[in-house]
Amino acid sequence: MPPRKIIIDTDPGQDDAVAILLALASPDEIEVLGITAVAGNVPLELTAKNARIVCELAGRTDVPVYAGCDRPLNRALITAEHVHGKTGLDGPDLPDPQMPLSDGHAVDFIIETLRAEEPGTVTLCPLGPLTNIATAFRKAPDIVDRVQGIVLMGGAYFEVGNITPTAEFNIHVDPEAADIVFKSGVQLVVMPLDVTHKALVTKPRNDAFRAIGSNVGIAVAEMTDFFERFDKEKYGSTGAPLHDPCVTAYLIRPELFTGRFVNVEIEIQSELTLGMTVADWWGVTDRSPNALFVGEVDADGFFALLTERLARL
């Protein structure tokens, strides 16, 4: 079976970086056509820089990186330096990238790629706010039916919110973009906080990253060392949730995850619950299911896969 063609849309972020590394370490299963940066965890200038830093760390300067939207569709940008540090990749001491940004806008790259590839052969993998994806869908409605699927990290239901009492960060930053994507009709797989909060980087798991001994293994361990201080204090957990790599792991080993195919809608009106992903988990409405909303992960299997693949880089 040929590898699955994907575009990674991202706002790195330490956990985004690990998700990208996992994809680049898995060429038998995943072909990364390109990486598109969006403003989110930190402003666009830094997310576009960080994506290239990660490509160079993996030794994959052949992967094109495009800069995309620098703000949400209708709102001021909210960032998360309080979690990821001022660079977005605080923790390891990584050199500035030498590889250039690819010419052109990320949205145009998404559109042109979906038009050039056979319909139903490209999966979009958003790891941050959905601004680039929604903008592409609005600019070129013809591409929507060409998308194989969208596997994204975002939202929450039983775990409620991490940036407001009811909203997860990626969705809250640009709820209007999320609304467009969730109503697009594209097959969605959603990795919400409900599952990512079960993928915790405990000390033994982080020690396993460090024990790889390579630049990649050590950098990932240092990223999660930094990243976890905020979440451990916030949640009182034994480690930090490793959110975004759940997207990549699902593409490689979907059997590690279980969920329920339900209707998910985005709250875009209420200031109290803005950006909430309202999942009809119990089927109490007549709204049609539109997303596999994932709730469980085999965490040991997930970290075994991650450690094994990172050791390949």
Kind of pairing, strands 200-201 and 240-241?
Answer: antiparallel
Give the active site residue among 84, 172, 197, 243.
243
Query: d(Cα 183, Cα 198) in Å, to the nearest integer?
Result: 28
The helix/strand/coil state of 98 is: coil
pLDDT in tens, 189-237: 999 999 999 999 999 999 999 999 999 999 999 999 897 666 666 777 7
CB atoms within 10 A of CB 138: 13
For residue 238, what pLDDT is reported?
76
Mean pLDDT across 251-280: 98
Show the tokens assigned to 19: 């998700």
The helix/strand/coil state of 30 is: strand
Going 52 to 135 to 172 to 186, the CA torsion angle's sign is negative
Going 20 to 24 to 26 to 31, the CA torsion angle's sign is positive
CB atoms within 10 A of CB 5: 16
CATH of the domain spanning 4-310: 3.90.245.10
- Residue 304: C-alpha distances to residues 160, 236, 248, 270, 271 (Å): 28, 24, 14, 41, 41
Mean pLDDT for all residues in the chain: 96
- Return the amino acid letter for 261: F
Going 139 to 117 to 13 to 164, the CA torsion angle's sign is positive
Domain ranges of the chain: 4-310
The single residue listed with the structure tokens 């030794």 is 59
Angle of CA points 180, 264, 135, to nearest 5°: 15
DSSP-H helix ranges across the chain? 14-24, 44-57, 81-84, 106-116, 131-139, 169-173, 175-182, 193-196, 203-211, 215-235, 245-252, 299-310
pLDDT in tens, 83-125: 999 999 999 999 999 999 999 999 999 999 999 999 999 999 9
Q: Which of 62-66, 79-83, 177-181 has the lowest mean pLDDT?
A: 79-83
For residue 1, what pLDDT is reported?
86
Could you tell me the pTM of the whole model?
0.98
Torsions phi, psi for 7 (to 5 deg): -115, 125
Does the annotation count 243 as an active-site position? yes
Q: Is-contact 139 107, C-beta < 8 A?
A: yes
pLDDT in tens, 21-54: 999 999 999 999 999 999 999 999 999 999 999 9
